[in-house]
Structure 1
Amino acid sequence: MIFLDFSKEINLEKIPQKKEWQKNVVKFLKEWVSDSEIICTKTSGSTGLPKNIELTKKSMIQSAILTGEFLKLKAGDTALVCMPTQYIAGKMMLVRAWVWKLKLFCIEPTSNPLEKIDQKFTFSAMTPMQVRNSLGKINLIEKLLIGGGQVSYDLQTILKKYNTEIYESFGMTETISHIALKKISGNKNHYFQLMKGTKIRKNEKGCLCIKPSFLNEEVITHDIINLISDHEFEWLGRLDNVINSGGIKIFPEKVEKQLKSIIDLEFIISKKFDEILGNKVILIIEGNESSVLRNKIENFSFENKYEKPREIIYIKRFKRTPTGKIIRENKYN
């Protein structure tokens, strides 16, 4: 573990750098205190090839201020970094700590970050998988952001019972982490609520266009949304992934969110050519075939009957990005 008290001057040369994750923390902090006004980072690669992006430190600071104001962070609060700091989520945890003068604890990013942790923290951010593996200790964290993937219905049901303030976040590298949050614990929100000063619209394809207050240009995404109001929206899925089956549009992410309540294995919803439907919905599961699981899926009540997979395919392992996200491949035709 690395402890950094950002209310005091930090000697970066004294930070341990024996392990790769420690080197990544120090590397970013050295970039942060350098004379350059730009930080170079990479996208995760979950929606295409990873690409380099230049972000201004000024914009990153403004983003950190908005998050801190929303969560009511203050100097001396404690925070836990358990995500890779070579990507935007981890980098922004470091920036928030620097901006708000937090006492920061950095640990090696793992799928079960709280396994060896017993102390309490004011604030942290995790992926859905990290949260699911840490349920026994989530109450150690007062305020928690979940990002890097959608939060399933069953995980939301579990988390709403916790005293921790838990928010599902929406954002990307291009928008410098999240631009909207959805509370999923206690008195939860049904839709994503925009951060202060952020403006959105829906283009002719139904995709979300974002103009954060700290960016000069609008970010045009491939995310299909329902625009609820000028400050809230419902995320439906990615335009790239939409399946047109017999004239019905199926959003794989929406189907996956339902099925996560009965499937513990890694899986995705995809498509396969069908002479009658054009494309049929298929379910691809990482792991060994199971008749018990097949029966569960067969008897599952989908929100829409057209969402039910017409074929189940089992594979040994999905290809993944460096951050652990499944890379979707349409190679099942």
Structure 2
Amino acid sequence: MTNITSWLENFAVPLPISQAARTTAQLFADQQPTSAKAEQVRLNTLAVSVVNDYLQMMEIPTDLSNSDSWNLIVRLCANVADLEIPSVGRLECRPVRLHEQVCTIPAETWEERVGYVVVQIDESLHEAKLLGFIKNATTETFPLNQLQPPETLIDCLAELKTSPVKTLVNLSQWFVGQCEAGWQTLESLWNSLGSIPAYGFRSPVTTQNTPLNQAETVTRRAKLMDLGIQIDNQPVMLLIEINPEANQQTSIRLQLHATGNQIYLPENVQLTVLDQSGAVFLKAAARSADNYIQLQFKGEIKEQFSVQVSFDDMSITENFII
């Protein structure tokens, strides 16, 4: 494996590509509609597998199953090669072939990444080299001679573990059925509770005045929030309803519900929306006989915000990007 600058060759880390990685890469490639897309997915999968094996060898935990690159629909729709690192974030693993002197970094991967590692894949698909690392990307091509040594990656991940990058829940992906761990359909959440929660016979959560021909665009997901305020061992439920509107805006409705045998929310439990700077944007608090509270607002594509559920000195915060 040659044709990279001599100084890059000096610190590149040679690694084998396992048979399991090649099998998985071929399986993912076979699912693609064109030969070009198949080759893209094959190389992306190999790059992610090599980095995954390397990090595990370095005793750094990884989570392939939560990575977009391991998601059938995301692989089909996007050029992603990410690897989820618990308590840290997503690392993008970009492949290059022999003779290439630049790495392609798609714009769709410029956000929600803790860094980018470049992996050179040989023609036989049996060997690879970890060429180096960069922390940020702002252009779609990056010269390989500007990479930092691979050990920079390990140092960066160690630093991020002590102060992890904020994980963002991508609401736009919900429209195509892609949800982060913990967020479920109402039906799935009811099943997990073992019975229909009190939510099931309360005020409906459909958007008021929504035309019938737009009803199918509304997407709802829910998550249980345990703040130590359980009644009859039941947590509260955060429900989010999103609906695309004109001018790239999204209507967002938040509701906080009691579940199971609870009749009312605990008094003074609070639901707060924070803007990207952390300032309070909207806030609601439960009264003595509220079975749910709600907030509603609109946001633009790529806009970030946080939702905080709090009671006394306990709070849980979820971070979102539209």
- The answer, yes or no, to whether TM exceeds 0.5 is no
Q: Specify the structure having the higher radius of gyration (Cα).
A: 2
TM-score (norm 2): 0.29
